[in-house]
Chain A
Amino acid sequence: MESGRYSNIKIIANAKIESLKGQAGNYNVTVLKRPRYVDEDLCTACGTCVSYCPVEMPDSYNEKLVNSKCLYIPYPQAVPASYVIDPKYCLFQTKNECRQCEQACKDLKAIKLNQQAEHIDIQVGSIILAIGFDEFDARRKKAYGYGEYPNVITSIELERMLSASGPFTGKITRLSDRKHPKKIAFLQCVGSRDIETNAYCSSVCCTYAVKEAMVAKEHDPDVDITIFYMDIRTQGKGFESFYERAKTKFGIKFVRSRLASLERIHESENLLFKFVTEDGKHHSEEFDMAVLSVGLEPSRTAKELADTLGVKLNKEGFCQTNEFSPTSTNREGIFVAGAFQSPKDIPESVIQASGSVALASGFLSEVRGTLVEQKECVAETDLTGEDPRIGVFVCHCGVNIAGVADVKKIREYVETLPDVVYAEQSMYACSKDNQDKIKQIIKEHNLNRVVVAACTPRTHEPLFQETIREAGLNRCLFEMANIRDHCSWVHANEPQAATEKAIDLLRMGVAKARLLSPLKEETVPVIPKGLVIGGGLSGMIAALSLADQGLECVLLEKSKLLGGNLRGIYYTLSGNDPQKLLRDTIDKVTSHPKIKVFTEADIKEVTGYIGNFLTRFSIGQEEQTISHGVIIVATGAFEYEPKEYLYGENESVITQHSLEEKLALKNFNSDDLKDVVMIQCVGSRTKEKPYCSKICCSQAIKNALKIKSIKPNSNVYILYKDIRTYGFREEYYRKARNEGIIFIRYDDNTLPLVKEENGELRVEVFDPILGENILISPSLLVLSAGVDPGDNRSISKLLKVPLNFEGFFLEAHVKLRPVDFPTDGVFVAGLAHSPKPIDETIAQAQAAAARAAIPLTRGYVMVEPVASIVDSEKCFGCGICEYLCPYGSIKVISDEDGDKAQSISASCKGCGICASKCPRQAITMGRFTNEQIIAQIDAFSLATSDV
């Protein structure tokens, strides 16, 4: 929705790239735009045509579980919000008959049944590929009966079923008898970690299965759910506690097993699962419904697109990238983001999306801003001393409103309200021609307030505000009454009541409109310089990404050397050289003219707000102050220092980091590697440190394989809870097993026992496959110590940004804003955010730089008029507002008048917490003043009996 509204994003839907010519910086792309048979500029998405369309077809968005018309909008949030006709079903396209939709739309004439495909040439400097994935077709696993047994469904179908706006209004439904299942089984890794289909791990299925199971339990607490799995891979930030909650609070059963068969029971249409648990025992259990957790495959269009663009795919068919440049393709100027690069979840996809933007805009930085469309600005009319003159536009929205409520009656009523000097009915208030009409009426009738009674302000307010602004009225002199989404649509069978409610809503809107006043639209200048805190990999990459976009930045590192944890990484699973990455990155950072590096820097104080921060730091005895516009927090994390398994007591007990160093620097003797035991999840997934450290499984396998390559006859044992080699890392897990590395599973009840006897290490662990304890005397015991966030409290306090329960920095929104803090202008990247491997760190650092570059390149911050306003006469500086503000957007400042609160409108979000808690009522909110809200409430109480 946001991108659809953005003036510098042009969306061409229903299209594909036909050819690519030219080179990086000057690509010529030919796009084929397929006909949609509806003019998207004219269509207002009123939906009248749909009721006339006689043809039904399977609704793809709802996984074909129900039908839709062949004239449809794929889903409610679709952009463009315009209908499309499926030519495979449309009677006109197939048989040259019908044309009912044309008739239905005869006023707007948006239906264009003879529309032809278009070829569009576009000149671009760089390209970002984000074509996503396709789900695995479960029919390929014949043994699971999908497509044949009615009650075997895919996880994607279940996802739609669980949605309130889905095919069965949120009810899980058996397709055989439309009954609600009482016993559901999930089967993991369908089309993942399977050499017959896809050998890689799809990364997201464990977490989504856990989520779906929990949502199903929320809908019906009595439903019995079992998840059959190999390893539970909930490695993402916050997902481990989610999994724990599923087990302990929701009572979802997790069974580690191999499925022997899945049989259909014909009479009941139930399903019989026969499975083998890891102790070798055979079991069988009946379920009402089976859900196949299908994997992620490359998009079916990936191959064709890659061929057209000359972009390489990897052997799995995803876009080929390098671990150290995760968002770059093999072609210069062409970047990649999301599941086209590898299977990944929403936060990782959003991070990569921003990361690829950093590269693309760095590539284009010289020509930045040259094609930006700027709107001409009409001067605002001065309203000083004028009484309100309100114009009201009541929308029919085709039949959406007028089909239920009596619009004429509403309009007639509105005309009787005080200060309303003009009222009109519009067929479609939002249509283009009506915008011109509104502007004309504002001038003709000298209106100074406008109220539109139509749909929701959440989608349409900006459009109307733009219109009245073009007519010279301040944007804030506008109000909407939601008589569609909150009225005609939800009271479709009560026309009289809907009319009365619409009248009430309008009266309330007009009452508020009378008190609206123009608010200044201010801009605050931004100092075009970034501050990066932390000189590890993420901090250096973030600084470089900013600098490569032509922006100055300062990099502060508290230790003597740049590099952070990367200094201790000597090789990677896929064979890249991290030490070379380290040297190259340090060289680039220290030689870049736009980057200023300070090591041994200690931050003392940070003040200010987005665009205008002031940071004071010391280097030894010397103090410095810099001003800057944004902050990127990349303070990293540490290897956990184990307190368990004789670490620190016996020198043969070491961590993976020290093992890696030993192996890389050849600092060992041959006997050291004779029998190596590795214990996973030391300082991860424990009571004290409940999160998963994400990297240790791959790290252990990496080091184990290294040992095997140095000394092939060594015995390496990995004691683990779940092996989490997600994505393409799965290949190395398989390799490790093939090379004879022994994996022994343990859980919280069977923790390994480590003892020292006569100076020798002894490890005792229960092997669930053998069903007995085994005893190993290792030459080396390697602890896979987790990622410890360290003490982030001081930075958290200095910047007023939050930490999560585990001590990592907490982003503004886990999925949608994974590198932003709630405080504007402050961003996070790398291990400071959560444990992650090198490729994800690089992508996140680039993402943080891309986000930070937005205010820096724009040069100013727009102040939303919906901001707090302090009456300094009333304020007595108690500071409650400053204490409560979640965004650091109001501060008490001392001057000659004493302590007074001051609104930092540049970062105010308009929530109004300060206004409602101010004991002196000294704070009010733009467009939501006490008087306006009270007027709305008072207007509600007035009788509607005279209608």
Chain B
Amino acid sequence: MSFEPKILGILCNWCAYAGGDLAGVSRIQYPPNMKVVRVMCTGRVDPEFVIEGFLVGCDGIWVGG
């Protein structure tokens, strides 16, 4: 079986998360590997969140804002 990375997205409500919504409305297709945690601003992202993500087995983390 090929490698399927587990990607965590921590996305800003106002831009990257909204971009995700727009991708949906526009029916733009992309791989299903990323799961999203919504925050009100990427300024909220404590380095601890990123470390926790890797600790629990994420292969990649995208902080989008």
Contact = CB atoms under 8 A, between A and B. Distances in A.
Interface in A551-576: none
A486 interface: yes
A937 B56 contact: yes
A938 interface: yes
A458 B44 contact: no
A911 B43 contact: yes
Contacts of B22: 76, 164-165
A229 interface: no
Contacts of A458: 13, 17-18, 21
B35 A940 contact: yes
Given A497-B32, A933-B49, A165 B26 contact: yes
Nearest to A504: B35
B28 interface: yes
Contacts of B53: 937, 940
A243 B41 CA distance: 31
A786 interface: no
A457 interface: yes
Contact size class for B? 35 or more
Interface in B29-65: 29-30, 32, 35-41, 43-49, 52-53, 56-58
Interface string A489-511: 11111100110110011001000
A487 interface: yes
Nearest to B50: A937
Contact of A501 (B21, B23, B29, B32): B32
A925 interface: yes
Contacts of A459: 21
Interface in A9-67: none
Interface stretch (A322-330, A829-837, A912-920): A912-920
Contact of A490 (B23, B39, B47): B23
A379 interface: no
Interface in A892-947: 909-913, 915-916, 925, 928, 930, 933-934, 936-938, 940-941
Nearest to A918: B46
B17 to A, nearest CB: 7
A491 to B, nearest CB: 5
Nearest to B44: A912
A913 B44 contact: yes
B1 interface: no
A936 B32 contact: no
B33 to A, nearest CB: 8
Contact of B58 (A494, A916, A930, A941): A941
Contacts of A498: 32
Contact of B37 (A487, A915, A925, A937): A937
Contact of A930 (B37, B41, B48, B57): B48
A459 B22 CA distance: 12
Contacts of A487: 32
A501 B24 CA distance: 14
A911 B24 contact: no
A909 B43 CA distance: 12
Contact of A486 (B20, B43, B45): B20
Nearest to B19: A164
Nearest to B28: A490
Contacts of A492: 27, 29
Contact of A485 (B25, B30, B41): B25
A493 B35 contact: no
A755 B22 CA distance: 60
Contact of A909 (B23, B36, B40): B40
A456 B39 CA distance: 13
A866 interface: yes
B46 A76 contact: no
B30 A940 contact: no
A484 interface: yes
B37 A508 contact: yes
Given A916-B45, A934-B49, A934-B52, A76 B25 contact: yes
Given A486-B20, A489-B27, A938-B56, 17 more contacts: A165-B25, A459-B21, A486-B24, A491-B29, A501-B32, A504-B35, A508-B35, A909-B40, A909-B41, A911-B41, A911-B44, A912-B43, A916-B44, A928-B44, A933-B44, A937-B49, A941-B57
18 contacts: A164-B26, A165-B22, A169-B28, A458-B17, A459-B21, A489-B27, A492-B27, A504-B35, A505-B35, A909-B41, A910-B40, A913-B43, A916-B46, A928-B40, A933-B44, A937-B52, A940-B53, A941-B56
Interface of B: 6, 8, 13, 17-18, 20-30, 32, 35-41, 43-49, 52-53, 56-58
